[in-house]
Structure 1
Amino acid sequence: MGSPAMSIQKYLAFIKTVEYGSLTKAAEALGYTQSGISHMMNDLEAEWGIALLERKRSGVRITSDGLKILPHLQNVCHAHQKLLTEIEELHGLNSGLIRVGTFSSVATHWLPNMIKSFQKDYPNIEFELLLGDYTEIESWIIQGRVDCGFLTFPFNPDLESVFLERDRLLVILPEHHPLAERESFPLGALAEEPFMLLEKGGRGEIAEILKMHHIVPNVRFTTWDDYAIMAMVENGLGISILPELILKRNPYRIVQKELEVPAYREIGLAIKDSKTASLAVKRFLQYLQYRHRD
């Protein structure tokens, strides 16, 4: 029958294959080869004498027998994760890995100090950072590829979230722009200049703000790369709006101005389920909440 640990891996492989409808996608999510997942499914079917999956060119589909088995396997995997968490808590935080999904401004300006401070208390905890846009980070959390991730509100309602900070959105201009001396930037002027639009994974808080104020910008360039936008603005190709966090320590010759109606993005941390999170992840969440509380 094989070891209990191997059985759990096969159960999880089956659950993920059903979830994705694809052996290849399940393999990618779990870090196996496609043939490895296929062997696990064959082993389960041979061991139990039932067909769990219908294999087609377009992917795989769960059989009626598989549907009856699925909730029991989900319960077993959930109980196993709880067991591992309990054992981890009994051992204390002598080791552990925290996988964090993050976007560029948080990775550059928040996380280095956060991790440095956290590791003073927990020096043996390791971090793995995955850099992506909002949509990618959200999907990584749901798929279990990361333990938690930084996102902007509103969050997916299926995720648990912790509010951390409001980040101002500022207009950036070339140094010698006619409005560079103004105390704040007039909303109407946003529609009069070539505009560089920042969008991260289809979730564009800047586009939403423009829409809210009924402003139709003259968009010349769209990207998720904050630094590409700064370079273009510095070279006089247009203006843009960027989060204040990414503008800290920027090397470009640009001017930052608050909008005449101040605008913000709200940054938080999301997690799939805090109850089943490892002790290391729970401690990190507590640390972030304490660090950012008013």
Structure 2
Amino acid sequence: MLSRYEIFCKVMENGSFTKTAEELGYSQSAVSQAVRTLEQETETVLIDRKKDGIGLTADGEQYLPYFQQIYQAEKNLERKEEEMKGLTNSAIRIGTFTSVSRTFLPRLMMEFKKQYPEVRFILQQGEYTSIAQWVRNGSVDFGFANAEAVPGLETSILYKDEMAAVLPKGHPLTGKQVISLKDLEQEPFILLDEGEYSVPEQAFRRAGLHPKIEYKVYDDYSILAMVRQSLGVSAMYKRVLEGFEAGLAVRPVKERMERPVALVWKDWNTMPFAARKFVSYVRLKF
């Protein structure tokens, strides 16, 4: 529905109520009513209605530039709303970690860009603690993290990722079909750096065990390379291991270790429109 400011400006452009009504597809009475509403609001007569046409009154001349500014602002706002709905010139900033970046996220971004080709993605790679901090300070619009490691943020759990024991080929423990945390406690351990909340460390602590952590490494695939070189054993998430088992022995762990992988954000209502759109899209896929 057109605003009364636009209708008023159109009337003055056309110099006629009748022509304006025809152009807009409105009745002449509807156009006249919009002008009368403005006159009631301003408490003055804006248009001088003469037999040979219409013109602005002195007050009308004073008000017209302001009505034109409002009309132009409304058009700009309408254009921006259309841009937002089409995600034109929108950047979606995401905090993420390796297994998410390597597995499903690229596919979802590609599918989303088919619907909204002008959207851009900016990824910041980190661990749970840094991702949570980025979300809190607004460096990213939302992130992926362990739902148990991001207190104070809103979460939507997507799936649970279980850990498996990762051993060098020929390691003595490969003779076992299932590995216990007690078995791993005795070996040089390469720990995945997950920030302040480590799933393996929590599991060892609950079991009253003290692993020999010789290395703490951020990158999952560096850990796999180190295990292949017999620098130690590790526990890795199964999604990370998919397709990278060569040269390794992978065994289930008796004491279940897993993380609930979640979307995390600070405030849904203040999250940028494009980011909310993508978050909703991701949630539909799980």
Q: Which residue is 1:193 aligned to?
A: 187
Question: CA 1:113–1:181 in 2, change beyond 3 Å: closer, same or farther?
Answer: farther
Q: Distance in 1 between matches of 2:151 and 2:256?
A: 27
Aligned pairs, how many?
Answer: 209
Are 1:124 and 2:103 counterparts? no
5 Å matches for 1:135-284?
135-250=129-244, 252-284=246-278
Deviates more, 1:171-180 or 1:193-202: 193-202
Following TM superposition, by how much is the alpha carbon of 1:206 offset from its aligned partner in structure 2, in angstroms?
A: 1.4
Question: CA 1:273–1:102 in 2, change beyond 3 Å: closer, same or farther?
Answer: same
Q: Distance in 2 between matches of 1:85 and 1:133?
A: 40
Q: Which residue is 2:128 aligned to?
A: 134
Q: Which residue is 1:291 aligned to?
A: 285
Find the partner of 2:86 among 93, 103, 108: 93
Give the conservation status (yes or no) of the 8 Å contact 1:163–1:268.
yes
Deviates more, 1:197-206 or 1:107-116: 197-206
Question: CA 1:246–1:86 in 2, change beyond 3 Å: closer, same or farther?
Answer: farther
Which structure 1 residue ranges, 5 or more long, are not aligned?
Answer: 1-83
Deviations 1:127-181 (A, max 9, x none): 0101112111111111111000011021434321111110011110001112224
Give the conservation status (yes or no) of the 8 Å contact 2:94–2:121.
yes
Aligned amino acid, residue 156 of structure 1 = V
Give the conservation status (yes or no) of the 8 Å contact 1:101–1:131.
yes
TM-score, with length taken from structure 2: 0.68
Deviations 1:17-38 (A, max 9, x none): xxxxxxxxxxxxxxxxxxxxxx
3-state SS, counterpart of residue 118 of structure 1: helix
TM-score, with length taken from structure 1: 0.66
Aligned amino acid, residue 230 of structure 1 = L
Aligned amino acid, residue 177 of structure 2 = E
Give the conservation status (yes or no) of the 8 Å contact 1:193–1:218.
yes
Give the conservation status (yes or no) of the 8 Å contact 1:85–1:277.
no
Q: Percent identity?
A: 32
Whose radius of gyration is greater, 1 or 2? 2
RMSD: 2.1
Give the conservation status (yes or no) of the 8 Å contact 1:195–1:219.
yes
Q: Distance in 1 between matches of 2:84 and 2:215?
A: 53
Following TM superposition, by how much is the alpha carbon of 1:211 offset from its aligned partner in structure 2, in angstroms?
A: 0.9
Q: Which residue is 1:17 aligned to?
A: none
Q: Distance in 2 between matches of 1:164 and 1:124?
A: 26
Question: CA 1:151–1:114 in 2, change beyond 3 Å: closer, same or farther?
Answer: same
Aligned amino acid, residue 100 of structure 1 = I
Following TM superposition, by how much is the alpha carbon of 1:85 offset from its aligned partner in structure 2, in angstroms?
A: 12
Aligned amino acid, residue 97 of structure 1 = A
Give the conservation status (yes or no) of the 8 Å contact 1:155–1:161.
no
Following TM superposition, by how much is the alpha carbon of 1:228 offset from its aligned partner in structure 2, in angstroms?
A: 2.1
Question: CA 1:254–1:273 in 2, change beyond 3 Å: closer, same or farther?
Answer: same
Q: Distance in 2 between matches of 1:86 and 1:209?
A: 54
Q: Distance in 2 between matches of 1:113 and 1:91?
A: 23
Give the conservation status (yes or no) of the 8 Å contact 2:220–2:240.
yes
Following TM superposition, by how much is the alpha carbon of 1:263 offset from its aligned partner in structure 2, in angstroms?
A: 1.7
Following TM superposition, by how much is the alpha carbon of 1:97 offset from its aligned partner in structure 2, in angstroms?
A: 1.1
Give the conservation status (yes or no) of the 8 Å contact 2:84–2:273.
no
Q: Distance in 2 between matches of 1:160 and 1:194?
A: 37
Q: Which runs of 4+ in 1 moved over 6 A?
A: none
